[in-house]
A and B are shown apart, each in its own frame.
Chain A
Amino acid sequence: EVQLVESGGGLVQPGGSLRLSCAASGFTLSDHYMDWVRQAPGRGLEWVGRTRNKANSYTTEYAASVKGRFTISRDGSKNSLYLQMNSLKTEDTAVYYCARGHNSFDVWGQGTMVTVSS
């Protein structure tokens, strides 16, 4: 069964850092584009960023709102995706989802909540 499971969310102070993880099973992560999407409380979905597959050198794209603060990476040996979030702001408070970037986003994780507050 194809599955994505996020972890690493929590409460962090403004200016702090957090790393989210997304463990993939049922498929080989390196073969696929992978994305992060977030949803602030009561709001719509917002695309955060993407890492392309191995064939495309794992290059990345980011939303302007997170560029320079967030970094997407992978660990092939763990079949896992990561989102390193630095210089966090209160407006980064959201549920963060990882998604497989095949035919748009065909598989989603259950999400992990990140709260940025003092």
Chain B
Amino acid sequence: DIQMTQSPSSLSASVGDRVTITCRASQGISTSLAWFQQKPGKAPKSLIYAASILQSGVPSKFSGSGSGTDFTLSISSLQPEDFATYSCQQYNSYPYTFGQGTKLEIK
């Protein structure tokens, strides 16, 4: 199975900041990488697929990059609604696997 490792596991930031979250795959996955946002008690929301393509309706403050084994999610100009848990997921091969999540908290 492909292991997905996110860093950091938690992150404190202020409104208006820009943050970057990293996701590393245990083997190459090309650009078969997605990012999700999840708030407490809610279903995940898809943000990005194919490493860098925004899902329909997702604001351009979110951006993704990377290929192979190393990927990043960046969020600019943080707003209160952006504080949530972010997870990466590979869909290059079965079983699909997720990172452990990065909890973004308000400083």
Contacts and interface: CB of A to CB of B under 8 A. Distances in A.
Interface of A: 35, 37, 44-47, 50, 61, 63-64, 97, 103-111
Interface band, chain B: 20 to 34
Given A103-B49, A104-B89, A64 B43 contact: no
Contact of A97 (B43, B53, B96, B101): B43
B55 A45 contact: no
A66 to B, nearest CB: 10
A108 B45 contact: yes
Nearest to B97: A47
A104 B36 CA distance: 10
Contact of B98 (A47, A50, A107, A111): A47
A104 to B, nearest CB: 4
A64 B95 contact: yes
Given A44-B98, A47-B96, A61-B94, A106 B44 contact: no
Given A45-B44, A97-B43, A111-B43, A104 B98 contact: no
